[in-house]
Structure 1
Amino acid sequence: MKTPNPFYYGNEVYDDDFCNRVQELQELAQDVSSGQNLLLYAPRRFGKTSLLKKLKHKLDKQKDYKVIFIDLFSVSSIDEFIQKYFNLIINSFENNTQKALRNIKEVLNIRPNVTMSINETGNISYSLSISKKEQNQTLEDVLNLPSIYAKKFNKKVVVIFDEFQEIAQLKFEKKLRTILQSHSREVSYIFSGSKKSILNQMFSDNSRAFYKSVKHFHIEQIKLDEWIVFIENKFKQTNKEIEKRYIKQVFDITDGFPYYMQQIMSMIWEKTSQNADDDILKQSLELIIQREYDLYSFIWSSLTPNQKNTLKYIVHVDGLNLYSNDHLQEFNFSATTLKSTLEALLKKDICDKKDDRYYLVDPFMKYWLETIG
């Protein structure tokens, strides 16, 4: 029987497939136990959702906790939000169908009719019959369910809104904020997302409902030393070896993004019979560039000529001293044009800025740009 590949990517990562994040997990658990509301931002493929699912798994083991995890990425209407959130709440609170229905009707006092359905795999889902006239009140009722449950059963409830920036398009930020702020310490909310520009507006603009309402929780880069231990162990456990210098090369290319680290190491592992070498690393990178080409080509084609040149400019000067006269002349940029173009790229979440350095949010896109010239 063939040994399974020890590196996993593309979906949420659990248990032995998860690299480190011990400190972040402990801090998150401590914050929610104190009733703190959090904003957690991380770019795509940085392991944000895996970390939050790991937190949910950790808290689910504690009898005094109930955790609701809702991914808002596909939600496109208030009705859809109500139904999805309601179903997840009920399924998170009770495993027993009869008890769940009793709590819904008697304890939680939902006004509209509740229906239950069972799919082909035996999973139970709950939905509400809502008229247009009842929508506003039903939204309030559903939003208040975690707090009502927490008080009634003396439980600590944690609600994780993943891809929370999608709420902005549903136009009920003020109502949501008004209701959630009344839930005090009984319910902790984690607002998570991957669109930094939108989240910044939602939580840092003093005209928005969620202004200064949360603790900002930063996910730091997993250190090279931690990746070395993790990756070397994976190779050794499967009777293969990889030198530290190859791990460092991949780390430098990917900036330590968990998705890319696992993806490239998975490819290197597949091509390695005993010891990884230069050719295997080169072949693995070339293959992944081919696989990601369509994605980056699509992003690239959506940019204006100035935006494309600006990304090349950022890569060329490593994001430093962008407004230097020498650099501007070399790329035939004016300071005014550069400023407006950078602002547009920041809004698109294609590039970002830390301290005085601009960089591409997706580090592998930088590598792709370098390879295509």
Structure 2
Amino acid sequence: RGVDGWLRRTELEIEQAGIELPDPLEPDTVRVTVAPVVLFSSEQSETRHDSIWVSGSLGDDQGIDYYEFTLNGEVYRDAKGNPLQRRPPSPEQSTQFQFRERMPLQMGENRIIITAYDVDALRHSAAFPLTVLRKPPYYQTPVFYYSIVTLLVLLAGALAANLLIKRRIAFVNRYNPYIAGAPVRNPKMFFGREQLLHKIVNTLHNNSLMIYGPRRIGKTSLLHQLKQHLEQTPDREYFFVPVYIDLQGTPEQRFFAVMMHDIVDGCESHIRLPEGLRIKSGDSDYSARDFSADIKQILALLKPLSSKRLKLVMLIDEVDELNAYSERANQKLRSIFMKTFAENLVAVMSGSFIRKRWESEGSPWYNFFEEIPVDSIDRQAAEALIRQPVKGIFRYEAAAVDKIIEYSDNVPYRIQKFCVNIISHVIEARRRVITAEDVERAKAKVLESEDV
């Protein structure tokens, strides 16, 4: 009561004295805000790449206006040369959002600073540094060179050891890869006929062929390589089914039966042959008509195997036998190629003495075949045939190679026969180097044994 009374009396006295009281004081409110904050996703400290992704999140209690980068003391600029300034994705996301920027790096230490500015009336900014060390590529480091040198030393040692083992095994097993007499079936031993093989394949699309040349020039080997090529190399237009037919020693009365037996053997890997084939009834009295009936069935079974045009390729070797047959037998064979189903047949005939007989106007085969000669191989192919099969195991001196080529006339059969004898001799002598004297030693044995 005493205090209240005192206040009333005081107010009354002030009022009577005419004194004006000041307005009550209202304190001003000062809003204090904080600076932007950056949180890096991962502070990668070193790399071997020429650039790096700088990423993380930006935040501010009032919102971010924009942010920019400094790279190695200089403001980072865009492609047009202007300072690169990034803003929040949207006003709603200005208080917190993710950022990601690719920064180029120089070799060595790189200092990247991201500076963020907020939207306060009294603008705040904050800078956040990131240091990244760019190392040279691994292939430029000493460790890499040491590793490569070590690897090369180990590899050289392994190759040397392998070579020594190969040489020792070659002597123990009497390694001799050359072939004398038998057809060459291994493509790695077939040299100098690539262009000829390509020409034959291109001609097969529309024509039957006659390949001719001296005995032992390599015609049979060529047919075997052609068969492998057609089996292993798909053609864009044709589905080739090659079959090898050997007429050597075939009498006229068994001619069509022998042909069909070889065709059946060649097609069994493609189709299941019906029991109704006439050849399965036996060879006796097997005629050209029987052959036509059977080949027609086989072609009908082969056609559905591919959407391409079918070509049954008959690779007929030793057709010199046909010279001893009657003209009627030859006419019957030719008539088969004139039937409607013959559009799916093509023949490659090989012989030594067929060309002159078949070029006469009275021959049933006159103008029937595209003729392709088989000659000796060139020097480069001959040298490859000599050296490559024993490379790393035996070594031919240049003079030895020259003499083999001279004495063989670049005929593959003779080259291989020389090499077979020479390698057998140096294995016996426990030597690796082949000299001209070794060739001279083999000369008489090789050339005198030829019945040409």
* Equivalent position to 2:212, from 26, 38, 41: 41
* Equivalent position to 1:263, from 411, 417, 420: 417
Q: Report what 1:28 is aligned to.
A: 200
AA aligned opposite 1:86? M
* Equivalent position to 2:232, from 40, 51, 61: 61
Q: Alignment partner of 1:100: what SS?
A: coil
Query: What does 1:81-120 correspond to in 2, within 5 Å?
Result: 81-95=255-269, 100-102=272-274, 105=276, 110=277, 112=278
Query: What does 1:53-202 correspond to in 2, within 5 Å?
Result: 53-61=224-232, 64-78=239-253, 80-95=254-269, 100-102=272-274, 105=276, 110=277, 112=278, 127-129=280-282, 132=285, 135-142=287-294, 144=296, 147-149=299-301, 151=303, 155-171=310-326, 172-182=329-339, 183-194=341-352, 196=353, 198-202=354-358
1:170–1:139 distance in 2 versus 1, CA, 3 Å: farther
Tell whether the 8 Å contact from 2:241 to 2:313 is kept in structure 1 after alignment: yes
Distance 1:146 1:170 in 2: 26
* Equivalent position to 1:242, from 349, 374, 396: 396
RMSD: 2.6
Q: Report what 1:118 is aligned to.
A: none
Over the matched positions of the two proteins, sequence identity in percent amounts to 20
1:131 deviates by 6.1
Distance 2:301 2:361 in 1: 32
Cα deviation 1:22-63 (Å, max 9, x = unaligned): 11111112222x131101012221111111101101112357
- Unpaired runs of 5+ in structure 1? 115-126, 297-361, 363-373
Tell whether the 8 Å contact from 1:268 to 1:281 is kept in structure 2 after alignment: yes
AA aligned opposite 2:200? L
Q: Alignment partner of 2:350: what SS?
A: strand
1:188 deviates by 1.4
Q: Report what 2:16 is aligned to.
A: none
Tell whether the 8 Å contact from 2:422 to 2:438 is kept in structure 1 after alignment: yes
1:289 deviates by 4.4
Aligned length: 266
* Equivalent position to 1:275, from 418, 426, 433: 433
Cα deviation 1:178-223 (Å, max 9, x = unaligned): 22133554221111112x2x43212x11111110111111223211
1:137–1:7 distance in 2 versus 1, CA, 3 Å: closer
Kindly indicate whether structure 1 or structure 2 has the higher relative contact order, using CA contacts under 8 Å at least 6 residues apart: 1
Distance 2:444 2:316 in 1: 37
Tell whether the 8 Å contact from 1:9 to 1:263 is kept in structure 2 after alignment: yes
TM-score, normalisation: structure 2: 0.54
Q: Alignment partner of 2:434: what SS?
A: coil
AA aligned opposite 1:21? R
TM-score, normalisation: structure 1: 0.64
* Equivalent position to 1:208, from 363, 375, 385: 363
Tell whether the 8 Å contact from 2:288 to 2:333 is kept in structure 1 after alignment: no
Tell whether the 8 Å contact from 1:235 to 1:242 is kept in structure 2 after alignment: no
Where is the strand percentage greater, Structure 1 or Structure 2? Answer: 2
* Equivalent position to 1:10, from 181, 191, 214: 181
Q: Alignment partner of 1:237: what SS?
A: coil
AA aligned opposite 1:57? Q
Tell whether the 8 Å contact from 1:72 to 1:162 is kept in structure 2 after alignment: yes
Where is the helix percentage greater, Structure 1 or Structure 2? Answer: 1
Q: Alignment partner of 1:181: what SS?
A: coil
Q: Report what 2:191 is aligned to.
A: 19
- Unpaired runs of 5+ in structure 2? 1-168
